[in-house]
Amino acid sequence: MIEKARGLVPAEARIIVEPGRSMTASAACTVYRVTTVKRGVVTHVAVDGGMGDNLEVSLYGQRFEATLVDRAGWGADVTVVGRHCESGDQLIDGVPLDNPVVGDLLAVPVTGAYCYTMSNQYNGARRIPVVFAANGDARLVVRRDTWADLLARDV
């Protein structure tokens, strides 16, 4: 691949490969808890995260898919929105979910490359934890921000 690229760019160009998504995205998912379901012409499913832990959607229109953890499958198309009450805090538009209700867990796969590294404390939200899971075991590797972490820089 590098050889093909080298033939297309000037000799003095430096080629840098950034494999983020191809290496990590399929190994990770973000799990949200459904906090509100507002049914109408469009059903909005609000979750306990959003643009504070997934800026890819609002920054450059990345498309994600999702499913309910305990009942994957097709249902009516819904719009998944975050907790920040911003017009840009829409995580997924038009994803089929099987009758979502408050308390459901929503899995958003292929989020391993950038969601954590771009997470922030927007609107006073605490940064997300990271859990590694394999073969039925799980372990915390990055803890969620505490309230003290959120306020630590205030003077």
Give me the CATH number covering residue 72: 2.40.37.10
Vertex 124 angle, CA 118 and 129, to 5°: 50
Catalytic site positions:
85
pLDDT of residue 89: 92
Query: Is residue 6 a part of any domain in this protein?
Result: no
Q: Which residues, including other chains, have CB under 8 Å from residue 149's CB and lie 6 or more apart?
A: 126, 127
pLDDT tens-place string over residues 18-36: 676 677 767 788 999 999 9
Query: Is residue 137 a part of any domain in this protein?
Result: no
Distances (CA, A) of 143 to 12, 26, 45: 44, 22, 26
pLDDT of residue 47: 97
Pairing of strands 90-97, 76-81: antiparallel
Q: Which domain holds residue 91?
A: 25-125
Query: Is residue 105 a part of any domain in this protein?
Result: yes
Query: Is residue 95 a part of any domain in this protein?
Result: yes
pLDDT of residue 8: 85
Query: Is residue 47 a part of any domain in this protein?
Result: yes
Query: Is residue 114 a part of any domain in this protein?
Result: yes
pTM: 0.81
As for how many domains the chain has, the answer is 1
Report, as ranges of residue numbers, the positions in the chain whose pLDDT lies below 50. none
Query: Is residue 152 a part of any domain in this protein?
Result: no
Query: Is residue 57 a part of any domain in this protein?
Result: yes
- Closest by alpha carbon to 69, among 105, 37, 31, 35? 105
pLDDT of residue 2: 67
